[in-house]
Amino acid sequence: MKINFKRATMAGMATSVVLGLIAFAVLGAGTIVGWEYSNSNAFCANMCHEVHPEEPRAHAESSHARVDCVECHMGRLSTLHLIGLKTTHWRELWGMIVGYERPLTSHTLRPSRDHCESCHWPSAVHRDSLSLKKRYATDEESSETIYRLMLHTGVGAARDKDVKGIHWHIENEVNFISTDPQRRDIPWVQVTKADGTVTTYVDATTKLSADEIKKHPVRRMECFDCHNAVGHPFENPEDMVDRAISEGKIDRALPSAKARAVALIEKASTMTGPEKELRPQIEKLVAQSAPAGKMDDETRALEKKFATEMTRILVQSSFSHEGLSWKSFADHSGHKDSAGCFRCHNGKHLSETGDSIRLQCTLCHDLPQVVREVGEGSVPSLVAGKEGNAPPSSHSKPNFMHDHRDQVTARCESCHGDTKQGSEGGNFCSNPACHGRKWPEVDLSVKAPKK
């Protein structure tokens, strides 16, 4: 038998090439599948977020529920760039292996231009928007109060960029120093305007020396320094109840519906553990809050709606780790439950000339209208002044809010109407949306040190 070694060698080489190509294809396909899975929400939720399981649940309820985790935490970048970024997450990977304390903030977010700005283009014109907040009291009728705010969002062509607008912060360069991971404490702020003017503000009440402040890195202000909770918000459960009442998911026909809900929130606040263990306990707690005695069909249906919605709210705002609550995750985009905007706009950050970072309410929104359902105390919108009656120059001074109550004159009534001061409502200067409450971090008593 004669063997053609040349032909056999060629056949062997061809077979090796084919097998090699198949192996390469299988390996490539496996690599692609593995890469895609490592960038999936399932991977983030089942692996990375095992230490804080409420994050995926909060993400599913957020306005960014259809935005994948990696789109914010790694950015919308080229594949090669993302592969390189993966290697920078070794600390998180090591923490998952050996264990670490639950993080309360992300250390891996990319600059806004790598993710936020791919959808929210900063040069676009953002017009003013209307916000209606409905709140309910704990009286028997769960009486309603409506707060109406016109938000000044836009900049550029829609807004004088040197005067007002929430997005002024992206039209001008703002740098700051924070001393904590959640960026709640900001002792130093520096603003560079388009004309090159640089102004530095320091918290006059800080206990840190100038050298101690400088030990912390200077950060350029990003979208997520204010909008830090858009991906997975942990909302005040009382606000969730207010929204449920306004949407009819909880009916005010039930006596003291808001008061019952608040009492349940207080009792459930001490309950911690996995959701599968907490849900039966919460359902039992809600069932026990129902009034004793027989109910007619209508009341029974209302109680069922109440129980369903309150169970959802209490589960949504529950945590598996003891000592954590929605208060552990401050939302910096407002200033009701945490300092938020008032981290900087608090009357305490002063420049070398003694001027504070402006705190005027109208920088970001119109003065709020308040409509109360029962009793007196509604506050109308700003009274129209005489034609050509522009606001006095005092309104635009940096320290106007520090002493505005002492500048009230008869002239104020031409725009503001009755200027009786207080917090009971009924007129402009006793607006309960502004007065009669403590705002986190605000201190209007701070004065510039004498030189």
DSSP string over 9-36: HHHHHHHHHHHHHHHHHHHHHHHHHHHH
Taking residues 307-324, what's their average pLDDT? 93
Phi then psi dihedrals of residue 175, to 5 deg: -115, 150
What's the confidence (pLDDT) of residue 7?
61
pLDDT classification of 178: cutoffs 50, 70, 90: very high
What tokens appear for 313 in the block? 């709210």
Query: Which of helix, strand or coil describes residue 220?
Result: strand
The one-letter amino acid code at 87 reads: T
Q: Which CATH number fits the domain that encloses residue 10? A: 1.10.3820.10
Q: Do the domain assignments include residue 271?
A: yes
Residue 103, pLDDT above cutoff 80: no
Residue 180 tokens read as 């904590």
Of residues 233, 40, 258, the one with CA closest to residue 143: 258
**What pLDDT, on the 0 to 100 scale, is given for residue 255?**
94
Q: In terms of domains, do 223 and 244 share one?
A: no
Mean pLDDT confidence for 274-293: 91
In three-state secondary structure terms, 265 is helix
Rounded Cα distance between 266 and 264, Å, is 5
The residues that bridge with 371 in the sheet, in sequence order, are 146
pLDDT tens-digit readout, 330-373: 999 989 999 999 999 999 999 999 999 988 888 888 888 899 98
| Average pLDDT for the chain | 85
Instruction: Read off the pLDDT of each residue in 379-383 and give the average, rounded to a whole number.
Output: 70
Q: Which residues contact 129 (CB under 8 A, 6 or more apart)?
A: 150, 151, 153
Query: Do 178 and 194 belong to one domain?
Result: yes
131 CB-side CA count, 13 A: 16
> Both 199 and 248 in a single domain?
no
> Quick one: 217 and 156 in the same domain?
yes
Predicted structure pTM score? 0.85
Residue 4 above 60 pLDDT? no
Examine residue 324 and state whether it is found in any structural domain, yes or no. yes
| 424 close to 377: Cβ distance less than 8 angstroms | yes
The Cα–Cα gap between 442 and 449 comes to 18
Distance CA 287, CA 283 (A): 6
340 plus 421 within the same structural domain: yes
Confidence of residue 436 (pLDDT cuts 50, 70, 90): confident
Same domain, 196 and 344: yes
Hey, what amino acid is at 378? Answer: S
**pLDDT of the residue at 160:** 47
* Whole-number pLDDT of residue 264: 97
Q: How confident is the model at residue 158 (pLDDT cuts 50, 70, 90)?
A: very low
CA atoms within 13 A on the CB side of 92: 17
Q: Are residues 69 and 29 in the same domain?
A: yes
Least confident of 99-108, 141-150, 295-304: 99-108
Residue 352 resides in a domain:
yes
CA dist., res. 297 & res. 75, Å (int): 53
Residues 59/68, Cβ–Cβ less than 8 Å: no
Q: In what order do the strands lie in the sheet with 198-203?
A: 218-220, 173-177, 188-192, 198-203, 349-350
Instruction: Please check whether residues 224 and 355 belong to one and the same domain.
Output: yes
- Residue pLDDT, tens place only, 53-100: 888 889 988 989 999 888 888 888 888 888 888 777 777 777 777 777
Q: Which two tokens stand for residue 63?
A: 């306005």
Could you report the per-residue pLDDT of 385-417, keeping only the tens digit for each? Answer: 455 567 788 888 888 888 888 888 888 887 787
195 & 264 share domain: no
DSSP H/E element including 211? helix 210-214
At 164 the pLDDT is 65
Does 112 share its domain with 21?
yes
In angstroms, rounded to a whole number, what is the distance separating the alpha carbons of residues 29 and 35? Answer: 10
The number of beta carbons lying within 10 Å of the beta carbon of residue 26 is: 10
Centre a 10 Å sphere on the Cβ of residue 326 and count the other Cβ atoms it contains. 23
- pLDDT for 350: 94
193 has pLDDT over 90: no
pLDDT digits (tens, 9 = 90+) for 12-28: 677 777 888 888 888 88
210 assigned to some structural domain: yes
Average pLDDT in the 423-439 region?
Answer: 85
Q: Could you count the other beta carbons within 10 Å of the beta carbon of residue 105?
A: 13
- Can you give the pLDDT at residue 177? 97
The per-residue DSSP string of 373-420 comes to: SSSS--BPSPPP--TT-PPPGGGGSTTHHHHGGGG--GGGHHHH----
- Contact residues for 98 (Cβ-Cβ < 8 A; gap 6+): none
Residue 82 burial by CB count (10 A; 0-12/13-18/19+): exposed, middle or buried?
A: middle
Domains of the chain: total: 3
Same domain, 9 and 114: yes
User: Range with the lowest mean pLDDT among 213-217, 259-263, 440-444?
Assistant: 440-444
Whole-number pLDDT of residue 283? 95
Q: Which domain holds residue 371?
A: 129-229+331-430
Note whether residue 378 is domain-resident.
yes
